[in-house]
Amino acid sequence: MTIEHPHFKDKEAIEHVAERRAQSVLEREEEHGVEAPGSLSQCTHSARESALLFLLIGIILQKFSIPFQLIINVLLFFSLGLLIWKTGRSALMGWAHLERLHRVLAQEKWEIDNRRDQEKSELTALYAAKGFSGKLLDEVISVLMSDGDRLLRVMAEEELGLSLEAYEHPLKQALGAFVGVFIAALFCFLTLFFLPTMLGLTVQGLVTVSASSLILANYVNNALIGAVVWNSAVAFFAAATVYLI
């Protein structure tokens, strides 16, 4: 049976819900990601980016015949600036992401407060699609509609596809970025201590990129070999391009 409402724009309620959820999933496809915790994602991304930047800067400076000891000093000061930038940027992006989440929830709450018939139709369509019917469906809808906070949570998770527990505090994500840059820099300078050549920079870059890709892929159950190979290949191609050109 088609449940009609002017807000649905000639769509069934379940079609409207599916459209809203698909739109929400697309909107949430950004740097922080939706599968891994934001802190882990920021940590691995920052580590990879930092290691590759160290390698690219080393290649460029060497091409200008800069003494390698001076290159190390440049990388040291650069890593300090990068640490501040990545940490601050991660925090700002986290706050912006959290602000957008609050805005989406505020919009959904407004719809609950002002368009209860519409929300009830959407909720009925959702739970009917889950297999509820008859008196049980009516009771479930009645219970959910009686509590505004519970209804908001259900609509956010079921209609918009939001998992409210998955959003980490911006400062925790910033800490992840800090740790990522710090570990990459520490490994870089330890490698250069024992192998103060371009080979050392190359080793630290490829090892850090591979390790961070492996950690993130393992957490989200992606193909480990594919993640390591492709990320390392892109990093190697970037470095080789700068070196040759």
| Tens-binned pLDDT, residue by residue, of the chain (245 aa) | 434 444 445 544 444 444 444 444 434 444 444 457 889 999 999 999 999 999 999 999 999 999 999 999 999 999 999 999 999 999 999 898 888 878 877 877 787 777 777 777 877 787 787 777 777 877 777 777 776 667 777 776 666 666 655 568 899 999 999 999 999 999 999 999 999 999 999 999 999 999 999 999 998 888 999 999 999 999 999 999 999 98
Residue 130 included in any domain: yes
Number of folded domains in the chain?
A: 1
- Per DSSP, the three-state class of 126 is helix
Residue 123 included in any domain: yes
**Nearest Cα residue to 115 out of 105, 107, 125:** 107
- Its pTM stands at 0.71
Residue 53 included in any domain: yes
Residue pair 209/51 in contact (Cβ under 8 Å)? The answer is: yes
Dist CA 5 CA 163 (whole Å): 27
Dist CA 162 CA 157 (whole Å): 5
Residue 48 included in any domain: yes
Residue 1 included in any domain: no
Provide the b/e sequence for 178-207 (b: ≥16 CB within 10 Å): bbbbbbbbebbbebbeeeeeeebbbbbbbe
Residue pair 188/214 in contact (Cβ under 8 Å)? The answer is: no
**Which domain, by its residues, includes 20?**
6-27+36-244
Q: What angle do CA 56, 60, 66 make, to 5 degrees?
A: 130
Residue 212 included in any domain: yes
